[in-house]
Amino acid sequence: MRESGRTHPAVLAAIWVVLLLAPTWLGLVGGYTALGARVLVLGLAAMSLNFLLGFTGVLSFGHAAWFGLGAYGTGLTLKFLAASTPLSLLAGTLLGGALGAALGALIAHRRGIYFAMVTIAFGQVFYYIAYRWNALTGGDDGLRGFSRQPLAIGPWRIDIVANGVAFYYFVLVCFAAAVAIMALLLRSPFGHTLVAIRENERRARFLGIPVEFHIWLAFALSCVFISFAGGLYALLNNFADPNNLHYSLSGDLVIMAVLGGMRSFWGPLLGAALFVVLQDYVSSLTTNWMSFVGLLFVLVVLFFPRGLLGVLRGKSPA
Amino acid sequence: MSLLEVREASKSFGSLAAVRRVSLRVAAGELRAVIGPNGAGKTTFFNLITGALRPSAGAILFDGRDVTAVPAWRRVVLGMARTFQITEIFPELTLAENLRVAVEAAAGLRLRPWISRAAAAAVGRQVEDMLALAGLAAKAGRRVGELSHGDQRAAEIAMALALRPRLLLLDEPTAGMGEQETYDVAQLVRRLHRDRNLTIVLIEHDMRVVFHLADRIAVLDQGALIADGTPEEIAADKTVQAAYLGQVAEGGAAEAGAAEAGAA
């Protein structure tokens, strides 16, 4: 029996081939490797958001907060605490994940617009902290003066600092690990409860599932994943700035998820790819690139409410 | 001893007293019907029993334990399962996936981030058993939202059964069903009661079903319990007849007697 929402093996294979060969083919179509890494990082962020939005049915409109906390946590660790890429990434993930879990506990019983509003508010709190706390965060100028460090695995040293292709593969490995965990979670009994909550909260409750607790867990996990993505973003740019926390980025992530298809696991990655590529190409032609993204978004919502990948899967909406 | 005991339970919404000091005892193995005219407070009464609502006053005891302050989900874990007047299912999921959530919850797996092949296979077998019991085996892979109303109702009952409850509460299981479907559901309920000795409380409008199945019948009217007894006692009860006749007169029907009135 085919499981609802499971990706076809051929599609899955195609996705990984495209990602694995990206440094080869990106140059041929006028792209560059760092653009590929950016797609992976923002794609992971959008997929993390979608873990909550598409698979638990809960809309967070402030998820940039945890993304940015991951970025700042990683950057600050590299700058002040430890010159280690893995350690800084771990620290950023823990910072965003822990704060997300703590604040999530306060709002897990809120629903719909109230939940979304409170998440925006949390995001803006962290935005202004980063914006104002010049001494620690660099304020409006952003956090500078740190750099990702070479990886040391046993006797080998891998230069991910100057070698962009090596860094791309580092990001790809991180992306693959995070996405694999996410996919396994969604296929587990715990994942089944999340989809059940999305489908019908009342039925889920009367199957003996403490709905608020499961929503909180999903929120905390989503925060961990997106903080990890934020940490990778800081490593990619060797820079973190308050815009990483701003709600306009939260909105961009929601756009990516909806554009690609929030009921499909891989949809947000496609959405992120489109978004990033449009940003990169159209912004070189016009400063109004966002209006093109907006137009595309409106068209997708009007004509392909299941998102682009939802259409490719060929499953008609009910 | 009673499996379920309701002690003087009341529920008010503002100035409206939906349930007024209702007491009820349901013995283990009993099939109890709750009947009453529209707006009598039957569903609110169910909501008090299952924890969807907290009573304004009174207490709910399940298997001798006071569960008045126990949240709804935990009452399910304790052994109460229910269906709803308007079917509550997971429409975008397949029938088998709907059942799987219930089976996994009942097996205490809800927080497991992984599942072994053996455990998943065991879950799958239980899903198949439940589908077979509800006569839905052939439709396992269909999306539940696409199934007929009758099949959706049956699916919801199957989900409740998958929880392996000690007390099953059915809120109008035959609502909106045709003759054949009503008969099928009645037979299913009868089998559960007879063969599995399951304790069942049932809200039902179809009086043929009620008088055919129930060991005892409780009658609610305007939030109060006006009668509680065997089907014979209820059929002969003047208060019950008056309550139903009042409603029938409003509806313009001329037939007398609780049985016909309720079916109208």
Q: Considering the domain boundaries, does residue A52 fall inside one?
A: yes
Each residue's pLDDT tens digit, A100-139: 999 999 999 888 889 999 999 999 999 999 999 988 998 8
The per-residue DSSP string of A181-227 comes to HHHHHHHSHHHHHHHHHHH-HHHHHTTT--HHHHHHHHHHHHHHHHH
pLDDT in the model for residue A152 = 85
Q: Considering the domain boundaries, does residue A1 fall inside one?
A: no
Report chain B residues whose CB lies below 8 A from the CB of A188: 112-115
Q: Considering the domain boundaries, does residue A47 fall inside one?
A: yes
Q: How much of chain A, in percent, has pLDDT values that exceed 70?
A: 96
Q: At A90, which CATH number?
A: 1.10.3470
Q: How far off is chain A from B112, nearest CA to CA, in Å?
A: 5
The architecture CATH gives domain B2-79+165-263 = 3-Layer(aba) Sandwich (3.40)
> Within 13 Å and on the Cβ side, how many CA atoms surround B65?
10
Q: Is residue B259 pLDDT above 80, yes or no?
A: no
pLDDT in the model for residue B246 = 65
How many Å apart are CA B53 and CA B51, to the nearest integer?
5
If you count them, how many residues does chain A have? Answer: 318
Cβ under 8 Å to B: A residues 171-210 = 184-185, 188-190, 192-193, 195-196, 199-200, 202-210
In this prediction, residue B253 has a pLDDT band, given cuts at 50, 70 and 90, of very low
* Cα four-point dihedral sign B131, B133, B134, B139: positive
Residue of B nearest to A206 (CA): B73
pLDDT in the model for residue B120 = 95
Each residue's pLDDT tens digit, B63-74: 999 999 999 999
How many Å apart are CA A148 and CA A84, to the nearest integer?
7
Measure CA B134 to chain center: 15
Each residue's pLDDT tens digit, B103-117: 999 999 999 999 999
Each residue's pLDDT tens digit, A248-270: 999 999 999 999 999 899 999 99
Closest CB to B76: pick one of A184, A195, A208. Answer: A208
Query: Which of A185, A190, A192 to probe by mutation at the B interface, max B CB count within 10 Å?
Result: A192
pLDDT in the model for residue A282 = 84
CATH 3.40.50.300 occupies which residues in chain B? Answer: 2-79+165-263
How many Å apart are CA A219 and CA A223, to the nearest integer?
6
Q: Considering the domain boundaries, does residue A318 fall inside one?
A: no
How many CB atoms neighbour CB A42 within 10 A?
Answer: 27
* A17 touching chain B per CB within 8 A: no
Q: Decide: B215 and B230 in contact? Cβ < 8 Å.
A: yes
Q: Decide: A41 and A198 in contact? Cβ < 8 Å.
A: no
In this prediction, residue A313 has a pLDDT band, given cuts at 50, 70 and 90, of low
Domain that holds residue A166: 9-312
**In this structure, which amino acid lies at residue B70?**
V
Q: How far off is chain B from A95, nearest CA to CA, in Å?
A: 23
Number of domains making up chain A:
1
pLDDT in the model for residue A293 = 84
What's the predicted TM-score (pTM) here? 0.91
How many Å apart are CA B147 and CA A318, to the nearest integer?
12
Each residue's pLDDT tens digit, B144-197: 999 999 999 999 999 999 999 999 999 999 988 889 999 999 999 999 999 899
Q: What single-letter DSSP state applies at residue B128?
A: H
Closest CB to B114: pick one of A4, A188, A192. Answer: A188
**In this structure, which amino acid lies at residue B30?**
E
Report chain A residues whose CB lies below 8 A from the CB of B159: 203, 207
Q: Considering the domain boundaries, does residue A2 fall inside one?
A: no
Each residue's pLDDT tens digit, A47-91: 999 999 999 999 999 999 999 999 999 999 999 999 899 999 999
First to last CA, chain B: 36
Each residue's pLDDT tens digit, B119-133: 999 999 999 999 999
Query: Which of A205, A206, A213 to probe by mutation at the B interface, max B CB count within 10 Å?
Result: A206
In this prediction, residue A308 has a pLDDT band, given cuts at 50, 70 and 90, of confident
CB contact under 8 A, B100 and A192: yes
Q: What single-letter DSSP state applies at residue B164?
A: -
Phi and psi, residue B200, nearest 5°: -130, 135
Q: Considering the domain boundaries, does residue A297 fall inside one?
A: yes
How many CB atoms neighbour CB A284 within 10 A?
Answer: 9
Q: How far off is chain B from A64, nearest CA to CA, in Å?
A: 26
How many Å apart are CA A117 and CA A137, to the nearest integer?
26
Each residue's pLDDT tens digit, B202-245: 999 999 999 999 999 999 999 999 999 999 999 999 888 888 76
Q: Decide: A253 and A232 in contact? Cβ < 8 Å.
A: no
Nearest residue to A8 (alpha-carbon basis) of A306, A264, A199 = A264
Q: What is the mean pLDDT of residues B254-259?
A: 40
How many CB atoms neighbour CB A239 within 10 A?
Answer: 19
Each residue's pLDDT tens digit, A189-223: 999 999 999 999 999 999 999 999 999 999 999 99
Q: Considering the domain boundaries, does residue A4 fall inside one?
A: no
Q: How far off is chain A from B208, nearest CA to CA, in Å?
A: 29
Number of helices (H), then strands (E), belonging to chain A: the values are: 15, 2
Q: How far off is chain A from B181, nearest CA to CA, in Å?
A: 23
